[in-house]
Amino acid sequence: MAGSSFGDDASVSGSLAVSGSVTLGDGDDDVTIDGTTLAIDSSNNRVGIGTSSPSYKLHVNASAADTTSQITAYFRSADTDYSRISVDSTANADTQISFMNNGSTKWSIGNEAAADSFHITTGFGPFDSDNAMIITSDGDTTLGGNTSLVGGYVLGNETLTSSNDGGSVDVTKPLTLLTNASGQLIATLADATVTGQVKKFLCTGYSGSRSLAITVSSASWTGGSSGTITFSAAATFVHLVWANSVWWVVGAPAGGVAFS
């Protein structure tokens, strides 16, 4: 039927082989395949799967009988490196994925365009600074409201022992556990990047014949120049906070720690 066209309804029984281009619908002619299996709304340029009246550019509607293991849509790539599903937007627009319940949007997650930060928020709309959770591109996290962690919490930590001796060791995590039970240990605390960042040192083991010291790049007790924290006993600690371009001591025991 090369070059054939049909102005009215056409019915095909059995297989249909087509070679070349196929145009379905013309103007406002809708196209349906097997009822609601696939529907094309040519008036609004929409495609429906599982619905004959799509409300969106792509509208997928699955009944309980259509799903396997409660999966409505399944995507799989044979790439051996990684696979992804992308949601894109214009240069200045936030990109969101929303989660709904019975037609009502409850939560949205995505990228805030101005700062390229990841947000979690209730409802939908442009992301804002008061959203429930914000993670910056540097990894800093802000939680809005009260936070309850069942089972306690663990700060990112690093353990330095006598095998890490030398002034080239930089301590970067919020919590650092120190011990010099078998050798000297000299670590360096560099400047922080954000006001309010905290740093805690906990001395878990100490040998009096070994040095255990922290060189602080900018210390409040030296007027802003380099300073040193020296531990002389086990089970001691120092709690620091970064403000006004220096590290300030906000907690330390009465003995076992010296500042110079």
Cα separation, 231 vs 214, in Å, equals 8
pLDDT at residue 164, rounded to an integer: 74
pLDDT at residue 29, rounded to an integer: 78
CB within 8 Å of 185: residues ≥ 6 apart: 160, 161, 162, 164, 165, 169, 178, 179, 210, 211, 212, 213
pLDDT at residue 168, rounded to an integer: 67
pLDDT at residue 128, rounded to an integer: 94
Q: Residue 39's Cα: distance from chain center in Å?
A: 37
Instruction: Find the mean pLDDT for residues 88-103.
Output: 95
pLDDT at residue 139, rounded to an integer: 87
Amino acid identity, residue 82?
Y
| CA 55 vs CA 4, 49, 63: distances in Å | 33, 11, 17
Q: What does the mean pLDDT of the chain come to?
A: 87
Amino acid identity, residue 160?
L
**Given a cut of 70, is residue 8 above it in pLDDT?**
no
pLDDT at residue 207, rounded to an integer: 85
